Amino acid sequence: MDKKQTVIQVKNVKKYYGDVKALDGIDLRVDKGTIYGLLGPNGAGKTTLVRVLATLIEPDSGEVTVNGVDVKHHPTKIRRMIGLAGQFAAVDDFLTGRETLMMVARLYHVPKKEAKKRTDELLRRLSLSDAADRPAKTYSGGMRRRLDLGASLVGKPEVLFLDEPTTGLDPRTRQELWHLIRELVDEGRTLLLTTQYLEEADALCDYISIIDRGKVVKQGTTNELKSSLGRDVVEVKVEDKNQDETLKIMSSVAKCDTIVDDITKSISVRAAKGADMLVKIVTQLEKAGIKPKDLSVHRPSLDDVFLAVTGNKSTSSSKLNKRGEK
Ligand SMILES: Nc1ncnc2c1ncn2[C@@H]1O[C@H](COP(=O)(O)OP(=O)(O)OP(=O)(O)O)[C@@H](O)[C@H]1O
Ligand SMILES: [Mg+2]
């Protein structure tokens, strides 16, 4: 395995707005050539952290470095290394796509001939060639997002920050952007993105921090996060008349809490080896003369993890039965 090279390092970063702790001691590390996901609900602090990383705001305390360069002391150096596509596409309505990219290239002091070349290349890559000479006010939401992403790529940054790159896009446009994001990383870039979509984090990110109210509540690879909830979920559905007996059998076989879904009435337990547990449960149910209506084993989804760690667990449809309870 290649030795990992740290590109972004965030140590105990805090940013308060009065009583609001937008960032309350964040630590994270992003390795070169990977996609890092900041996953969190509204107001979690995602944009604040991206703005700190992109030198747009200074943290109250803590340390942030990109390629070993301190964000607070060398913002200009940092800006040369990074690209940022903000949460709300910062696109000038009256400029065309081509004019926008050419303008950004000028800001980066790219010579005219090279600027033209880069602009053509990016327009093609972002599937905006046909719309290149139309003012951006005629662009759809997805086109504006792509143009904004294009603008962040003009300076050929090694490190890219994308704040909710696919929010509000339809599923196909989102897939296209995912494809592009993967390509950008395959070319050797390092990328940090924020998202509220679990499936996006799951599909794209090598490593994820779930943040909530300015704090990291969980960090890991998607697989680590899923397995941290422990174990497979074994689900059994029976006739109403057998519900109580099945609950008893399942909690005694699994030796753990059972969760009953109030709506579907299915009973579930967690187990390290779901398939083995299922066989044991079914054997006991057969002995008791109970025939299940439905059986399943699945791994916890990122959804389960998110709900568990942000405390937003929807208790309306499930309730926890303590072991031994009837
Ligand atoms: N300039 C500011 N002044 C006052 N409060 C702010 C400011 N910027 C952010 N906040 C507060 O800090 C908290 C974190 O905001 P932030 O925009 O980072 O959240 P977020 O995770 O990006 O949310 P969203 O998913 O809605 O974009 C929120 O409570 C927000 O109201
Ligand atoms: Mg935000």
Angle made by CA atoms 87, 88, 94, in degrees to the nearest 5: 150
| pLDDT given for residue 154 in this prediction | 93
| CA–CA distances in Å: residue 132 to residues 120, 171, 227 | 9, 23, 46
Burial of 107 (0-12, 13-18, 19+ CB in 10 A): exposed
* Domain of residue 276, residue span: 230-321
Distance CA 246, CA 288 (A): 9
Q: For position 308, which CATH number holds?
A: 3.30.70
Asked whether residue 188 falls in the same domain as residue 250, the answer is no
Asked whether residue 235 falls in the same domain as residue 210, the answer is no
Q: Which atom of ligand 1 is nearest to the CA of 38?
A: 21
| pLDDT given for residue 313 in this prediction | 38
The answer to whether the beta carbons of residues 45 and 70 sit under 8 Å apart is no
Please identify, among 172, 200, 220, the residue that sits at the C-terminal boundary of a domain: 220
Closest Cα to atom 4, ligand 1: which residue? 17
Choose which residue among 20, 21, 50, 200 to substitute to test ligand 1 binding: the one with the highest number of ligand atoms within 8 A of its C-beta: 20
Q: In percent, how much of the chain has pLDDT > 70? A: 90
Helix residue ranges, H only, 170-219: 171-186, 198-204
* Distance (Å) from CA 186 to ligand 1 centroid: 31
Quote the pTM value.
0.78
For the chain, list residues with pLDDT below 50: 313-326
Asked whether residue 134 falls in the same domain as residue 272, the answer is no
What amino acid is encoded at 238 in this protein?
V
| pLDDT given for residue 273 in this prediction | 87
| pLDDT given for residue 311 in this prediction | 59
pLDDT tens readout for residues 130-178: 999 999 999 998 899 999 999 999 999 999 999 999 888 888 888 989 9
